[in-house]
């Protein structure tokens, strides 16, 4: 599951985090980043779930709508 990360200074969603066992990876919203592209593809193809910055799991429709607004 991917979780959105809110920047504590700007209060803006700035990246996404994925936890895989003991590994925690933070992925910036950067179109040149392959992990970012993989994240977007996984959400759009219903292969992964997305949680908001408070940890609430979004519906597939909410997640796809959010992804469409990203760069």
- Cα–Cα distance between 15 and 24 in angstroms, integer? 13
Adjacent-strand bridge partners of 7: none
> In the predicted model, is pLDDT for residue 66 greater than 90?
yes
pLDDT in tens, 1-49: 999 999 999 999 999 999 888 999 999 999 999 999 999 999 999 999 9
- Cα–Cα distance between 32 and 65 in angstroms, integer? 21
pTM for the model stands at: 0.91
Per the CB < 8 A criterion, the answer to whether 39 and 17 are in contact is no
């Amino acid at each position: 599951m991917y979780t959105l990360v809110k920047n504590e200074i700007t209060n803006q969603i700035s990246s996404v985090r994925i936890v895989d066992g003991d590994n925690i990876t933070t992925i910036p919203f950067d179109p040149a980043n392959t992990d970012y592209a993989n994240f977007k593809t996984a959400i759009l193809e219903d292969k992964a779930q997305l949680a908001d910055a408070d940890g609430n799991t979004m519906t597939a429709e909410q997640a796809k709508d959010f992804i469409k607004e990203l760069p």
